[in-house]
Chains A and B, each alone.
Chain A
């Protein structure tokens, strides 16, 4: 069980979720609706905080995360449920992959052997997530600028 501190929710999960919901908006071919994205991100961050405190085996929280995010995308971004689920899966997979590509080498450079070793160090835990968040934010910004969409109508439409 990951006893994620509340401070990490505000400084790690919320920014992470903001980027994820922005990426979801890009994939769905939507304009950035910041109020909706922010609301969905805060709800999702706290949902994730609660799930991590539940006595469930690791891995199950990803399933819950996909379902919660899909429902939030559906509700806040006004999309079709099918596309909400597909977007939620792809966005979450992007985060996991980006975390593993960026975070792991940084951890190794700092002399740690696994991510769990820094779970008790709140400051490091939060700081180490930022390269991934920034990388995903840059990718989101570029895709948005190029008007790429996965489930929108046409490649150049918003």
Chain B
């Protein structure tokens, strides 16, 4: 009787995850716990890093069978929905939203509903700063090619430089889905580290005099301008670059909800409930793609290093173009607002404000930096469209 009891306990213990889990899985559980720590204690983009890190934890629990990457890799290259329904787990079903490119555009809908494009409309030249800050994407693309990544992988790594999580996920899910986990983690981690990464680059590329420039007050923007803007952007960008339509179109639809003022209920849902629900699904499933066998390799280390380069080049591109505008306008533009061109709304704009105010306490750059900041969102969506149309 007692022997039977011991045997049962022994069998139970041997078949448990503790005994059968591989060292790599336990290492990934450790990494997941570290990411959870960063999200909760250090508050690094907790809204996304927390679900992502918990997704990493869930997917690496031995025998939990929540996510099966093999279901999404078929010889024909198409997803076999029937197979997923029959053999998939919870995260497989939720992952369909990433794989089919549903979640990132819906996140963009919410972002659009939360974004005020007023500063950009008041100073349209700041769009150019948003374009210059996309330099990091393409410089990193070249770097990644040299390190032996395929063009599709290089494009997905480069888009980290756009400092826009949903865009990075959208592009990677189309071009290199096997790198989704490391790219999403790198993108969101670096976005959280913007206050540490950007200031040294900003100071290195500008003089004290340039950093002290006080910019003129922005003109007020009428409601009509704000309503016409999303419609014009959608038509213009989508006709020029159809691959950017899912992101730009949804971003602008969300913004139209906000500015039109006639669909307050939908606007509220888009910027609260909808984006929150999608964030949970997106975060957990993207985290789930970071299975030990796909995550723990030299490619991930390369992605983390190249991601940092992408962010740095993006910041440098924006600041350098800011300097060009400083000279072109006879010293009316503070080059610090250029660094905000790397999306990461509103963190990058806050960094410009903080660095600017350190040099001149009476200087308020926040609203001026919001222009390039929201322009960066449009710029990175266009850059994503270019990468998709060429590399897909």
Do A and B pair up? The answer is no
